[in-house]
Structure 1
Amino acid sequence: MNEAVKISAAGARAHARLELIDCDIHPYPKTRADLYQFLPREWREHVETYGARGSQPFLGMMHIPRVQQNRLDSMPEVGPAGSDLKLMQEQLLDFYDIRYGILQPFGPGGGGNLLHPGLASAICSAVNEWQTAYWLDPEPRLRGSLLLPQEDIAASLKEIERHAGNKQFAQIVLHARSAEPLGKAKYWPIFESAERIGMPVAIHSSGYGQYAPSGAGWMSFYIEEHHSYAHTMQTAIISMIMEGVFERFPKLKFVVVEGGFAWAPALGWRLDKVWTKNRSEVPHVKHPPSDYMRSNVWYATQPVEEPEVASQIGDIIDWIGQDKLLFATDYPHWDMDDPRYAFKFPLDKETQARIFSANAREIYGFA
């Protein structure tokens, strides 16, 4: 790190004056070989022969290529952005003095959204081993997210049990655009296992999902897809509540990542109104939906919304509850949130402390 960057980094830490826990960091392998070395030989040969077919109709890329998805300065000499631990340490962990950072490993291999169930399971296990070897073992400030082949419940439970008790992993991570609405009973064994071992379940909105990002199919522009992250999250929360997941598993901690949070109060109000008029249809939903949102759902902040009247972000935080927000940068993406400037409205010290670290410490059990 050169002298100018050192001075800038010192200024960033001095400005923050707070412990920081980052709940959304994206790691990528430098090469396919880095990841595939953790695949059993038969699956490496399978990929070489047949390829890794994802669930979307676009081979080898997302339906809208993201040419400038990442910070230009986050590109290492070899490999894609987010693939170099040293650069991540310099630009993020050291620069902001991050106490803990949680990895969101959706990029590698397609994970649980591959069509071949056996390959999906093998890739997820490989991603979890890759996280450990390349990130968690060499950097103690990082924590992993346990990637599951979520459409294969038996394999998912096996992967959870394989890592149960491993404190290097902070949470289980699922894709919000699942094959069925996420609250369906099909997925309940995963939630039951997560609750039993006390591990939060997170959903991440973007990337390769089972379906198109919108309710009407494939959109034309990246800006449309980027906005779709919010209603993807809403769909998952509605399903979890109305199918009775939180009633059945009251201690389950559910975290939504990279979908913002300003929409949450209005979603709760609308669901409460509908539930009041139609609660006889869902007798298993014993409380107003907003109650479950308050007791079981947390929101990673990135991307922080910026209303024209800055003080309204304070109103939104009050409506959601300062104890339900987890700070996230989304490094190394182009729209990552710098903790110094993420909130355009001055937060009181208690709210800052809760959002930037205390809430994450509590739900993830960080020492």
Structure 2
Amino acid sequence: MTDPHDPYLIISSDCHAGLPTEEYRPYLEARHHRDFDDFLAGRDRRREEMTRLGIRNEAFATKWFDDNEEGLKGGWDAGQRIKELDGDGVAAEVVFPDADAVDSRTAAPFGVGLGLSGDQDPDLGMAGARAHNRWLADFVSEHPERHCGVALLPVTADPGRVVAEVHRAKESGLGALMIPSMWVDKAPYHDRRYDPVWAAAAACAMPVLTHSGAAPRHEYGDHLGIYVSEVTWWPARPLWFLLWSGVFERHPGLRFGVAESGCWWLPNLLWFMDRLYLGAHGGKKLSPFAELKRPPHEYLDRQMFVCATNTKRRELAQRYEIGVDNILWGSDFPHPEGTWPATRAWLRRTFHDIPVAESRRMLGLAAAEVFGFDTARLAPLARRIGPTPADLGQDADQDAVTASWARSREVGRHWLTGHDFPTLGVNP
């Protein structure tokens, strides 16, 4: 699919699936069934608390479920899911937990889905994760070429059990790993106790990801704005713990991504970290960064990526700082804050003036490389369902479109191209 008019091969780097919670029972070990009953009994209380905090809007929830009743079944029904993906023009997807982001009706057992956190009971946390992973392996096996299942990995548990689950998940057909964004009272991710886990993930070619969701909600009171303001910060935080502690240097085969947190925060962070490493005035008084052998942007380009769900125009304007190949678009299906069921219209509004070659990378080809999708196998499907550049409003002269972005592309990472300050080590 090299003709500029060919349909796009679109891969969503952030979608969600999960059983209605009570249906996870067959996937749980019998010794955890009583604890599971207690967990189910607390659902109404948790829903009431969500409403009280303003996280749940009753009128919106009612309309959402009424308007999308059939499509939402795609959260756990494989046949319905394929229908919804086809309708959106999405050839393949990366599948995270918790299909229902309104009422948590599909929460993974013991709250280990998007709320996966280091303060969960180690035994129950692993049990709930394994139950979801077993179900997810069955789910993605029906159309394995179209799904990369993300295994839940309570990485703060006993390292031996964690490594065993990495290998078990890989053998079951899952392709990536989601770790807690927050370790709470457990060892931070710079601790060497996690090295066997990073090594196992690299050996299995399973990217490690965090995803927005977990946050210290007990600190926020009734102030939802506080939660919304920093919910994307927590999944990004492990990135600099892994980077500065040399994890990416010790494990060059490890891939790490941050999902559903946007990528608007990355240019300034990368600028700041590069300047520190390269000897900007404020960093000279610090000890040498002995764990790193190269500047942060090189690790980003080699090993890191952002599943930039619902990528915004502002973020696309910063793509030459972030790196085009580091931005992996996602639809967030079937969450209401995502682009489904109007993905085609959303793509037209957002990508209409982005060069086709760059759009192909961000909308699918970069994700195919990170998550190991077989593009040759997906190509016939993409030709059938994928929107064309013309469908996205990209039918203008591509030479002219590319030229319109020439200055931004030339400046790129301005702190490296001489467009920020003339000599590294001098404060602008």
TM-score range, shorter chain: 0.7 to 0.9
Secondary structure class of the residue paired with 1:144: strand
Letter in 2 for 1:289: P
1:319 aligns with 2:321: yes
1:36 aligns with 2:36: no
Shift of 1:25: 1.1
1:357 aligns with 2:364: yes
1:45 alignment partner in structure 2: 34
Aligned length in residues: 335
Residues 89-108 of structure 1 mapped to structure 2, 5 A cutoff: 89-91=82-84, 93-106=85-98, 107-108=107-108
1:236 aligns with 2:238: yes
Change (3 A) 1:330 1:79: closer
Q: Percent identity?
A: 22
Pick from 3, 12, 22: which aligns with 2:12?
22
Letter in 1 for 2:302: S
Shift of 1:127: 0.4
Pick from 136, 157, 164: which aligns with 1:158?
164
Output the CA distance in 1 between the equivalents of 2:141 and 2:307. Answer: 25
Q: Is the 8 A contact 1:327 1:356 kept in 2?
A: yes
Output the CA distance in 2 between the equivalents of 1:51 and 1:169. Answer: 26
Secondary structure class of the residue paired with 1:169: coil
Letter in 2 for 1:341: W
- Which stretch of the first structure deviates more once superposed, 119-128 or 340-349? 340-349
1:182 aligns with 2:189: yes
Output the CA distance in 2 between the equivalents of 1:255 and 1:53. Answer: 34
Provide TM-score, normalisation by structure 2.
Answer: 0.70
Letter in 2 for 1:35: Y
Q: Is the 8 A contact 2:210 2:257 kept in 1?
A: yes
Q: Is the 8 A contact 2:150 2:176 kept in 1?
A: yes
1:139 alignment partner in structure 2: 143
**RMSD (Å), alpha carbons:** 3.1
1:333 alignment partner in structure 2: 335
Q: Is the 8 A contact 1:26 1:104 kept in 2?
A: yes
Shift of 1:76: 3.2
Change (3 A) 1:22 1:220: same
Output the CA distance in 1 between the equivalents of 2:237 and 2:21. Answer: 34
Letter in 2 for 1:45: R
Output the CA distance in 1 between the equivalents of 2:328 and 2:306. Answer: 6
Output the CA distance in 2 between the equivalents of 1:348 and 1:79. Answer: 33
Change (3 A) 1:95 1:77: closer
Shift of 1:156: 1.4
Output the CA distance in 1 between the equivalents of 2:6 and 2:290. Answer: 47
Q: Is the 8 A contact 2:248 2:254 kept in 1?
A: yes
Shift of 1:254: 0.6
Q: Is the 8 A contact 2:89 2:344 kept in 1?
A: no
Secondary structure class of the residue paired with 2:24: helix
Shift of 1:292: 1.9
Unaligned runs of 5+ in 1: 1-14, 308-312
Letter in 2 for 1:280: S
Return structure 1 stretches of 4+ with deviation > 6 angstroms. 77-81
Residues 112-261 of structure 1 mapped to structure 2, 5 A cutoff: 112-113=116-117, 115-133=120-138, 135-140=139-144, 141-152=146-157, 153-166=159-172, 168-179=173-184, 180-206=187-213, 209=214, 212=216, 217-218=219-220, 220-261=222-263
Output the CA distance in 2 between the equivalents of 1:346 and 1:175. Answer: 37
Bigger Rg, which one: 2
Pick from 62, 69, 77: which aligns with 1:76?
69
Output the CA distance in 1 between the equivalents of 2:140 and 2:211. Answer: 20
Bigger helix fraction: 2
Q: Is the 8 A contact 1:16 1:340 kept in 2?
A: no
Secondary structure class of the residue paired with 1:261: coil
Q: Is the 8 A contact 1:74 1:82 kept in 2?
A: no
Shift of 1:354: 0.6
Q: Is the 8 A contact 2:255 2:304 kept in 1?
A: yes
Output the CA distance in 1 between the equivalents of 2:6 and 2:231. Answer: 28
Provide TM-score, normalisation by structure 1.
Answer: 0.80
**1:245-283 superposed Cα distances (whole Å, 9 cap, x missing partner):** 111112211111000012111101112233431552532
Letter in 2 for 1:99: A
Output the CA distance in 1 between the equivalents of 2:351 and 2:361. Answer: 17
Output the CA distance in 1 between the equivalents of 2:317 and 2:223. Answer: 32
Of structures 1 and 2, the one scoring higher in RCO (CA 8 A, sep 6+) is 2
Output the CA distance in 2 between the equivalents of 1:322 and 1:358. Answer: 11
Output the CA distance in 2 between the equivalents of 1:271 and 1:243. Answer: 13
